[in-house]
């Protein structure tokens, strides 16, 4: 759209021709969004906020007076706040490549100053301390021009072939070489001992192998001799084992046959005998019950017969009395008493007969005897 401008994500858009709403900046700063700019009356410029790099290769003199060539790399950028953008834009907007040049010069000066306060040993062994002190010394100066440093890396330190650093490392190299030689000697000694141990083990193995082979041959010879002597004995032993097995087989067959006989003959016979006994017992019980029933029936029949004969018995008794000289004193009452006495005598006779019939057989046999 005509008059509408949008800065890139790593840019700051600077709009000149009007003061900022706060009145603190000589121009308006826009980042992260677009805005409408009145053509002809306003001017738009862009300042990079991307990461920049500066290299430093500076000859420095240490506190010991030894010259060193120090190489470093600085990563920096324009600060994100509006003040840093304004400061950087006023200095580098027309030539933004000058930011790397100026940054390299600033760090070169601080690097010379810091190296001059340290010894070679400190610089070589404490590179991080050197980088930290250079960063701390340049921070305020970089902030004035709107730049911030993300990192400083010391790439190399060279004594320009003076040999100081090599001489400083010589004792360590000698110690390392000496340790390496000692380690090599120990390794050689260990290898020699291992070789001797291997040879000793091989000799011991060969000796043990010979002993084992001799023992094996002796065992083979003894076994062969025993086999030659034990031929007939082994055959007899085998025959005994065959006979024993045949005997065991015959015993098993006999036991099996006995089990078959028990299953086929004895058990069926026992079952038949049990059946006959049960039937006989049932038949006897049946006859006993029938006999008791018959006896009971006979007694009932006899009682009935005696009762039926009771009038005849009374008549016969009366007939016997008819020829006797009996005086009845009290008339009809006396005659009634006489009839009642005859009936009582008949009943007494009937009870005697029944008791005689109900008496046990043993009494009857005794009576007969």
Q: In this predicted model, what pLDDT tens digit does every residue of 37-82 receive, in sequence order?
A: 888 888 889 999 999 999 999 899 999 888 999 999 999 999 989 8
Domain assignment present for 74: yes
Question: Looking up tokens 């009935």, which residue turns up?
Answer: 304
Domain assignment present for 308: no
Domain assignment present for 108: yes
Give φ, ψ of 74 to 5 degrees: -115, 130
- Range list of β-strands (E), 137-295: 147-158
* More reliable by pLDDT, 66 or 233: 66
69 Cβ contact partners less than 8 Å away, ≥ 6 residues apart: 57, 58, 59, 60, 156, 157, 158, 159, 160
* More reliable by pLDDT, 260 or 101: 101
| Number of residues in the chain | 369
Q: How many beta carbons lie within 10 A of that of residue 143, not counting itself?
A: 15
> Does one domain contain both 191 and 130?
no
* Mean pLDDT along residues 106-112: 92
- Calculate helix-pair angle for 331-358, 267-322, nearest 10 degrees: 160
> Does one domain contain both 151 and 117?
yes
Domain assignment present for 37: yes
pTM reported for the whole predicted model: 0.44
Instruction: Find the domain containing 23 and state its range.
Output: 4-47
348 Cβ contact partners less than 8 Å away, ≥ 6 residues apart: none
pLDDT score of 306 more than 80 = no
pLDDT score of 351 more than 90 = no
Model pLDDT, residue 249 = 84
> Does one domain contain both 86 and 64?
yes
Strands 147-158 and 11-16: unpaired
> Does one domain contain both 60 and 99?
yes
Domain assignment present for 285: no
Distance of CA 58 to the CA centre of its chain: 67
Question: Looking up tokens 């009943």, which residue turns up?
Answer: 347
Q: pLDDT of 309-332, one tens digit each?
A: 666 766 665 665 555 444 544 545
Q: Confidence band (pLDDT; 50, 70, 90) for 264? A: confident
Single residue among 103, 131, 162 that ends a domain in this structure:
162
> Does one domain contain both 36 and 125?
no
Alpha-carbon torsion, ordered 205, 208, 209, 215, to 10 deg = -170
> Does one domain contain both 19 and 60?
no
Q: Confidence band (pLDDT; 50, 70, 90) for 222? A: confident
Single residue among 178, 206, 229 that ends a domain in this structure:
229
CB 346 within 8 A of CB 313: yes
Mean residue pLDDT of the chain comes to 80
Please tell me the total count of domains within the chain.
3
Model pLDDT, residue 55 = 92
């Amino acid at each position: 759209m005509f008059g509408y401008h949008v800065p890139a994500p790593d840019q700051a858009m600077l709009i000149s021709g009007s003061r900022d709403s706060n009145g603190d900046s000589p121009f308006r700063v826009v980042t992260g969004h677009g805005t409408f700019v009145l053509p002809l009356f306003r001017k738009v410029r862009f300042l990079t906020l991307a990461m920049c790099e500066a290299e430093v290769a500076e000859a420095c003199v240490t506190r010991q007076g030894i010259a060193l060539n120090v190489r470093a790399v600085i990563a920096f950028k324009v600060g994100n706040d509006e003040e840093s953008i304004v400061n950087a834009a006023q200095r580098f907007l027309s030539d933004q490549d000058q930011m790397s040049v100026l940054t390299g010069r600033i760090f070169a000066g601080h690097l010379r100053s810091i190296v001059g306060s340290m010894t070679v040993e400190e610089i070589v062994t404490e590179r991080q301390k050197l980088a930290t002190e250079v960063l701390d010394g340049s921070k305020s100066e970089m902030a004035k021009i709107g730049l911030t440093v993300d990192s400083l890396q010391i790439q190399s330190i060279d004594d320009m072939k003076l040999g100081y650093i090599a001489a400083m490392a010589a004792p360590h190299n000698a110690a390392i070489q000496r340790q390496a030689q000692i380690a090599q000697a120990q390794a050689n000694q260990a290898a020699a001992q291992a070789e001797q141990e291997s040879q000793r083990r091989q000799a011991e193995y060969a000796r043990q192998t010979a002993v084992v082979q001799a023992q094996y041959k002796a065992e083979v010879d003894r076994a062969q001799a025993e086999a030659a002597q034990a031929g007939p004995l082994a055959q007899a032993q085998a025959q005994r084992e065959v006979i024993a097995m045949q005997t065991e087989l015959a015993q098993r067959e006999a036991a099996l046959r006995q089990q078959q006989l028990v299953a086929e003959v004895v058990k069926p016979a026992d079952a038949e005998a049990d059946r006959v006994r049960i039937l006989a017992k049932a038949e006897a019980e049946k006859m006993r019950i029938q006999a008791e029933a018959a006896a009971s029936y006979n007694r009932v029949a006899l009682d009935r017969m005696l009762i039926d004969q009771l009038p005849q018995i009374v008549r016969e008794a009366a007939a016997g009395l008819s020829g006797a000289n009996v005086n009845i004193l009290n008339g009809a009452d006396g005659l009634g008493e006489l009839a009642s006495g005859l009936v009582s005598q008949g009943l007494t006779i009937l009870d005697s007969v029944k008791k005689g019939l109900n008496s046990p057989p043993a009494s009857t046999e005794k009576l007969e005897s």
